[in-house]
Structure 1
Amino acid sequence: MKHIVLTTLLTATCMLAHAAGAVVITHPGTQLQASDVNEVFLGNKQFVGSVKLVPVDNAQTQAAFLSDVLKIDANKYHHVWARKAFQDGVAPPPVKGTDAEVLEYVKRTPGAVGYVSTDPGKGAVNVVGK
């Protein structure tokens, strides 16, 4: 029974970054845990070691990402970033229009963290939680 519970918990943690419609990816030189994704996209985690994290939003997949991964709606998300910008001077993530744009941005930007609608496979980027 303990093994079933442990397996279920581990699977749920990994699936956080692989929720329906959103696969979280990072620049090849950036190692991020699935449990850090919320903190990164809500502006609370800005570094991994000495690497500055650079989150990027995906207009095509944002609704699924916000509801399935961050568990908030678009209004709340925009409010969080408006507050961060005003109080802390932290700019919200740039928004790219498509999976291809996000994938290209993440590939070429050290510290970049983004999300796409399908698993890009092995190679050019890291998939968080795999």
Structure 2
Amino acid sequence: MLTRLLDRLRGVPPDRPLPQADARHLLGTLMIRVAQADATLRVEELREMDRLLGAMFGLGPVEAARLRAESERLAQTLPATAELGPMLRAALPPAHRADLRAALRRVAEADGDWDPREAQVIEAVSTLLHPRP
């Protein structure tokens, strides 16, 4: 208890458990990875992610921002995007997979700059969701 109090006084954030890699957080993670593919994460992209996550999952602005922030933390611990195929296919029903590509593209375009590195991530995700036999 004393340690927690001292950490608070020093400004050390409390350890929070990582969220579960469910469909919502995986989608948020993919959005983060697309936005970061060009080595920047712009406020316009963050706003678009919050808007999309809110619309897709019926969340208010605060809940959508929280989901995005949790997804950011999760993105740092999950394997590379190319290795997420089985997790994505298990978590995302086929009906939602078609909308995912469009949502990722909207995140990539949110800052007004279409970067080929963002397009590569979107293509990789599409391939993971729809593997060829």
Q: TM-score, normalised by structure 2?
A: 0.30
Q: Determine which structure has greater relative contact order: mean sequence separation of CA pairs < 8 Å that are 6+ residues apart, divided by chain length.
A: 1
Structure 1 or 2: more helix by fraction: 2
